[in-house]
Amino acid sequence: MAETPYAVEMKDIVIRFPGVLANDHVNLTLKQGEIHALLGENGAGKSTLMNALAGLYKPSSGVVKVYGEPVHFNSPKDAIAKGIGMVHQHFMLVPTQTVTENILLGLNEPRFFMRLADYDKKIVALQEQFGLRVDPTAKIWQLSVGEQQRVEILKTLYRGAKILIMDEPTAVLAPQEIEELMGTMRSMVTQGKSIIFISHKLHEVTAVADRITVLRKGKGTAEGLSMQGVTKEDLARLMVGRNVVFTVTKTAHVPGDVVLDMQDVRCENAKGVPALRGVNLQIRAGEILGIAGVAGNGQSELAEVITGLRSCSGSIKMNGQEVANQPPITAIKSGVSHVPEDRNKVGSAPNLTITENTIMKNYRTEPIGNGWSINFSVARQHARQLKQQYDILAPNVRTMARKLSGGNLQKVILAREISSGPKLMVAVQPTRGLDVGAIEGIQRLLLEQRESGTAILLVSEELEELLSLSDRIAVIFDGRIMGIVNADEADINDIGLMMTGHEVVKQTGREAKG
């Protein structure tokens, strides 16, 4: 009996860009009905390899087979015709169109007449089947990042893909949503679908993957390795070439004076629905206050009102100075730095260079700025120092931000914000999409900022990260602070209950009920 061909076989794949060898003779095989994890540091070539399989790039050399048949894709449409669908790390959505319109975009049906209400019902049915709920009539720009990710997954599922490439699909999902997605993935492979799963979260890989391929600097360090007996430590070593420390050491110290004081803060989201409902919070110098909550419960709006990106009612004071409803420049001048949730549209200017992105906060001041002119020689030297210090992988500081991997772009943003010497850092998902080595470095940087006296508001959907980095954790649900607990006394079950809207009587730390 002939052996069943692989769902996907990629052999000796080479992909080059100007000045960069992204994939250097890489091999990857995907069996039918398996979950195959693709691992590697930021910039290791994972997304590049998968973009070639999805028809976005053409390999310089090598062979790609789908179900034993050699293929040459000229566009994503060719890949879709072969049953390959990709859920991209950076969303491929039209902001001004609805969820349903985005899912239908590019399909042959409907051709002339579209009854959106009928298709809305089909999308709702698909959501129910896979547990990926989002309002089909909402415009993309009105959705949170997590909801937009769900649309990307639904778009691929709607097309009936047999081979799914999932590029960091859990990076924007809450823990409960991740569990649901893992169940969805297992359900799909039992029905004969095959999944290539790119993730930086090693506990997810060990929980769900059948085999793994690991890339480091464009080359394979493991090809089709069975996950039986493989630990997180083994995976990390294959990815970064050294042992990785998974726990951070946080020194005990007494916080200083109040830096941020929020009283009865209320605001609406992009849909005009209340997003914050009377929030009271205080953060002191040298303290990390973690914000725990399921995506879409007001975390983004909380960061935006502090940084001047959203109007509100109530009082927000920085070192005693009122900053509520002031432009972002007021927050910047008062010492606020911001690592936003959306690194592409808010945190950076994709069509500007690394140099230009790193001087966005200090181009007005010497030695970089002088009146109406910018000293680009000094600016480039400043950018080169940050590139080296934060290990930003790019050919040079003239590289456009849009050409960077997600993790390296996040490093550019963090380099800019930390180098401004902030009094308050508002960090929203600062380690999202980073590999284990980079996460270790970013967490160390945050703790160094804490020890230097910076007040930090840390928004994260990783409870493990909040518990290890935070001094106190505030739990937000439906725009209200359900309670605040000291991190070293926190009960995960209590936090989970508060995240789902249940008040917990036993609380520690300074309470700040909404």
Q: H/E element holding 36?
A: strand 35-40
Which of the residue ranges 171-175, 192-196, 508-512 would you say has the lowest mean pLDDT?
Answer: 508-512
What integer pLDDT is reported at residue 37 of this predicted model?
94
User: 201 vs 191, 425, 507, CA distance in Å?
Assistant: 25, 25, 30
Whichever domain contains 463, its CATH number is 3.40.50.300
Residue 103 CA to residue 156 CA, distance in Å, equals 8
Token pair 């009094």: residue: 423
pLDDT of residue 490: 85
Gap between the Cα atoms of 191 and 429, Å rounded = 34
- In sequence order, what DSSP letters do the residues of 91-125 get, joined into one string? ----TTSBHHHHHHTT-SSS-S---HHHHHHHHHH
Q: Of 372, 387, 420, which residue constitutes the final position of a domain?
A: 420
Same domain, 415 and 428: no
Say yes or no: 267 and 392 in one domain.
Answer: no
Min mean pLDDT across 27-31, 259-263, 457-461, 495-499 is at 495-499
* 433: nearest Cα among 399, 401, 460: 460
Higher-confidence position of 286 and 144:
286
Q: 249, 450 in Cβ contact below 8 A?
A: no
Answer with the residue of higher pLDDT: 250 or 222.
222
Report d(CA 388, CA 384) in Å as an integer. 6
Kindly report the average pLDDT of the chain as a whole number.
87
CA atoms within 13 A on the CB side of 423: 19
Pair 229, 289 in one domain = no
Residue 458 lies in a domain: yes
Q: Is residue 250 part of a domain?
A: no
In a domain, 477, yes or no: yes
Q: Give yes or no: residues 201 and 271 share one domain.
A: no
pLDDT in tens, 91-111: 789 999 999 999 988 777 766
Order of all β-strands in the sheet with 288-292: 336-339, 424-428, 455-459, 288-292, 472-477, 480-486
Mean pLDDT to the nearest integer, 24-41: 93
- Give the number of C-alpha atoms closer than 13 A to the C-alpha of residue 112, restricted to the C-beta side: 0
End-of-domain residue from the set 183, 215, 240: 240
pLDDT of res. 508: 45
Within this chain, do residues 44 and 154 fall inside the same structural domain, yes or no? yes
Distance between CA atoms of residues 165 and 156, nearest Å: 9
Q: What is the dihedral of CA 199, 202, 206, 208, to 10 degrees?
A: -30
Picking from 120, 159, 150, 124, the residue whose alpha carbon sits closest to that of residue 137 is: 120
Question: What is residue 493's predicted lDDT score, i.e. its pLDDT?
Answer: 79
Q: Look up residue 182 and give its two tokens.
A: 């893992």
Spatial distance between the Cα atoms of 340 and 300, rounded to a whole number of angstroms: 8
For the ranges 28-32, 436-440, 486-490, the lowest mean pLDDT is seen at: 436-440
Helix (H, G, I), strand (E, B) or coil at 89: coil
Can you give the pLDDT at residue 510?
44
Query: Considering the domain boundaries, does residue 3 fall inside one?
Result: no
Residues 81 and 203 in one domain: yes
Let me know whether 383 and 462 are in one domain: no
Has residue 249 been placed in a domain?
no
Which pLDDT band, with edges at 50, 70 and 90, does 514 fall under?
very low
Residues 190 and 160 in one domain: yes
Q: Which domain holds residue 497?
A: 256-335+423-514
In a domain, 245, yes or no: no
Q: What is the domain count for the chain?
A: 3
CA angle 48, 178, 35 (to 5 degrees): 50
Whether 411 shows a pLDDT value over 70: the answer reads yes
Asked if the structure places residue 223 within a domain, the reply is: yes
Say how far apart CA 224 and CA 8 lie, in whole Å. Answer: 12
Mean pLDDT over 485-492 rounds to 87
CA 34 distance to own-chain centroid? 25
Domain stop point among 216, 240, 264: 240
d(CA 14, CA 61): 5
Q: Tell me: do 351 and 330 sit in the same domain.
A: no
Selected residue with higher pLDDT from 255 and 190: 255
- Indicate whether 509 pLDDT > 50: no
The stretches of 11-60 forming alpha helices (DSSP H) are: 46-53
The tokens for 73 are 């894709």
Q: How far apart are CA 438 and CA 450, in angstroms?
A: 18
Positive/negative CA dihedral, 388, 391, 393, 399: negative
d(CA 76, CA 84) in angstroms, rounded, equals 9
Residue 340 lies in a domain: no
User: For tokens 């928004």, what's the residue?
Assistant: 459
pLDDT tops 90 at residue 209:
yes
List, for residues 110-143, the tens digit of each pLDDT value.
Answer: 666 678 888 899 999 988 877 678 999 999 988 8
Neighbouring C-beta atoms of residue 261, cutoff 10 Å: 17
